[in-house]
């Protein structure tokens, strides 16, 4: 949008620009980008020097903004009852003034801090359809004089629209956050039935995302992959704890009962209505124990019959399981974990997915293990360790000669196996 700094647009042109702006912001995902487009658009259409959109934080009784021209990226917070914007938020009425310094409601503190000189102001509440104030538009210093009644009318036309679009974006984001938090917490609760698998699903979620990222998955597909990975053991709800947490060797029947968790994951997820974009989740989650050579379960699928996401989750699942202790085996040394996964590559596990795992940086694993011991280690050594790939680390751990990386890694890895053999 190119508009001159001094000449005003015709009223028809302004209306068209506002319509175009509305289309553009309706189609924006990120709320920050939305706010940036709104402020830039309004600034240009009203031929003003600055525009800020404040959102109301009802809990804290504050107005906040992420974008302000001249102060980009800084979050500004104001008490609701302070300054012109605060006045507009609390009264719900528009303020249009020719000279801010002549108005008692104006708070000059901000100008004093930034060296800006506010003159003419158009400050308008952003109200949703129920008439509730959800934010405030603050437009400063019209380039061609003072804000007119027509400017006010124009902004009013746009303001309801902006409120509705912002509110619906916020609602969506909140619901998504609730949904994700719900599936994470649920999976954690299910893992926690067995102390030895506590945290497993979330870690498999993290590793799967990193493997997928290495393989070129985009943001949307990474999201779906993460949900499927987090939910892969959901079927354990239907597995008896007596079997789940039985120490030592399982009978054949008990083993089959444990294995049934994969089918059960499928059965539960198939019963859930997933929106079209999420329909890959059930098979991706349920088929994480299939092997590419057909030796897996429950369907004995082979290679490309297994959804790609399920092959990723399989690698992440094996990796996480082997790095932790299990009732039926001692924790495994890290280098042994890597050797085991390499030897299964192309047989049980998809070799492309295994290679993607081996290329993961150690930092990903440390972050996922989240041992909280980072402070005990010199930053330089830690950064060197973090920059290694899992494959490089495994090679170092196998070396006969001394290497400080060995010791540092083991201090992290102490939760499970040990490489100090």
- The residue among 130 and 249 lying less far from a copy of itself, judged by its C-beta, is 130
List the one residue from 107, 143, 161, 336 that touches a copy of itself (CB under 8 A). 161
- Alpha-carbon distance of 42 to 52, in angstroms, equals 9
Contacts of 154 (CB under 8 A, 6+ apart): 11, 14, 15, 18, 45, 46
From residue 206 to residue 245, the character string flagging contacts with a copy of itself as x (rule: CB under 8 A) and all else as - is ----------------------------x--xx-xxx---
* Contact status: 171 vs a copy of itself (CB under 8 A): yes
Report which of 103, 94, 86 is spatially closest to residue 149, judged by C-alpha positions: 94
Q: CB neighbours of 418 closer than 8 A, spacing ≥ 6?
A: 331, 333, 410
The stretch near a copy of itself (CB under 8 A) out of 64-72, 180-188, 305-313, 361-369 is: 180-188
Q: Are 96 and 138 in contact (CB under 8 A)?
A: no
Residue 79 phi, psi (nearest 5) = -65, 145
For a copy of itself, the binding residue among 1, 4, 11, 109 (CB under 8 A) is: 11
CB closer to a copy of itself, 35 vs 163: 163
Query: What distance lies between CA 144 and its chain's CA centroid?
Result: 43
Note whether 165 binds a copy of itself by CB under 8 A. Answer: yes
Query: 180 CB contacts (<8 Å, ≥6 apart)?
Result: 227
Smallest CA-to-CA distance from 65 within 80, 47, 53 is with 53
Contact between 183 and a copy of itself (CB under 8 A)? yes
Q: CA 55, CA 69: separation in Å to the nearest integer?
A: 16
Of 180 and 377, CB closest to a copy of itself:
180
Comparison of 27 and 102: residue with beta carbon closer to a copy of itself: 27
**Binder among 69, 119, 132, 193 for a copy of itself (CB under 8 A):** 193
Q: Which of 79, 160, 346, 404 binds a copy of itself (CB under 8 A)?
A: 160
Tell the smallest beta-carbon distance from residue 335 to a copy of itself (Å): 36
The residue from 48, 95, 97, 169 that contacts a copy of itself (CB under 8 A) is 169
Question: How remote is the C-alpha of 385 from its chain's centroid?
Answer: 26
Instruction: Extract the tokens encoding 147.
Output: 């804000």
149 scored as a contact of a copy of itself (CB under 8 A): no
**Taking a C-beta distance cutoff of 8 angstroms, is the pair 171, 34 a contact?**
no
We find the least distance from the C-beta atom of residue 162 to a copy of itself, in angstroms, to be: 9
Which DSSP symbol is given to 250? P
The rounded distance, in Å, linking the Cα atoms of 372 and 420 is: 21
Give the per-residue contact string, 107-146, with a copy of itself (x = CB under 8 A; - = no): ---------------------xx-----------------
Closest CA to 67 of 25, 5, 117: 25
Phi/psi of residue 72, nearest 5 degrees? -55, 145
The whole-angstrom separation of Cα 416 and Cα 163 is 52
* 23 binds a copy of itself, rule: CB under 8 A: yes
What span, in angstroms and rounded, lies between the C-alpha atoms of 135 and 167?
Answer: 10
| Region near a copy of itself per CB under 8 A, out of 8-16, 202-210, 288-296, 366-374 | 8-16
Binding mask 259-288 for a copy of itself (x = CB under 8 A): ---------x--xxxxxx-x----------
Size of the site for a copy of itself (CB under 8 A): 54
The residues of the shown chain that bind a copy of itself, judged by CB under 8 A, are 11-12, 15-16, 18-20, 22-23, 26-27, 128-129, 157-158, 160-161, 163-165, 168-169, 171-172, 174-179, 181-183, 185-186, 188-190, 192-193, 234, 237-238, 240-242, 268, 271-276, 278
């Amino acid at each position: 949008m190119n508009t001159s700094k001094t000449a005003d647009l015709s009223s028809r042109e302004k209306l068209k620009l506002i319509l175009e702006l509305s289309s553009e912001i309706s189609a924006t995902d990120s709320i920050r980008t939305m706010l940036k487009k709104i402020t830039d658009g309004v600034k240009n259409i009203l031929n003003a020097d600055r525009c800020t959109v404040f959102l109301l934080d009802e809990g804290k009784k504050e107005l906040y903004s992420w974008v302000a021209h001249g102060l980009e990226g800084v979050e500004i917070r104001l008490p609701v009852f302070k300054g012109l914007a605060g006045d507009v938020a609390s009264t719900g009425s528009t303020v249009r003034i020719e000279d801010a310094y002549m108005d008692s409601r104006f708070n000059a503190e901000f100008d004093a801090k930034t060296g800006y000189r506010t003159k003419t102001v158009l400050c308008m509440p952003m109200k949703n359809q129920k008439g509730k104030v959800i934010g405030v538009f603050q437009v400063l210093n019209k380039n061609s004089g003072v804000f007119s009644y027509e400017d006010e009318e124009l902004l009013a036309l746009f303001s309801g629209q902006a409120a509705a679009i912002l509110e619906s974006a916020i609602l969506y984001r909140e619901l998504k956050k609730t949904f994700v938090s719900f599936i994470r917490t649920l999976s954690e609760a299910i893992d926690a039935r067995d102390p030895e698998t506590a945290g497993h699903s979330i870690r498999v979620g993290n590793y799967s995302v990193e493997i997928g990222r290495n393989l070129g998955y985009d943001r949307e597909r990474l999201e779906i992959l993460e949900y499927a990975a987090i939910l892969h053991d959901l079927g354990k709800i239907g597995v008896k704890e007596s079997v789940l947490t039985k120490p030592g060797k399982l009978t054949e029947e008990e083993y089959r009962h444990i294995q049934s968790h994969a089918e059960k994951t499928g059965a539960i997820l198939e019963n859930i209505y997933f929106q079209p974009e999420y329909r890959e989740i059930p098979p991706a989650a349920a088929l994480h124990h299939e092997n590419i050579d057909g030796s897996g379960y429950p369907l004995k699928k082979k290679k490309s019959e297994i959804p790609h996401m399920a092959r990723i989750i399989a690698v992440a699942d094996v990796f996480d399981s082997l790095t932790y202790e299990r009732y039926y085996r001692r924790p495994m040394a890290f280098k042994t974990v890597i050797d085991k996964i390499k030897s299964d590559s192309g047989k049980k596990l998809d070799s492309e997915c295994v290679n993607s795992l081996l290329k993961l940086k150690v930092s990903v694993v440390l972050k996922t293990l989240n041992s909280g011991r980072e402070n005990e280690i010199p930053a330089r050594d830690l950064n060197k360790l973090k920059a290694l790939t899992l494959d490089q680390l495994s090679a170092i751990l196998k070396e006969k000669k001394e290497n400080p990386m060995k010791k540092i890694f083991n201090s992290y890895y102490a939760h499970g196996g040990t490489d100090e053999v």
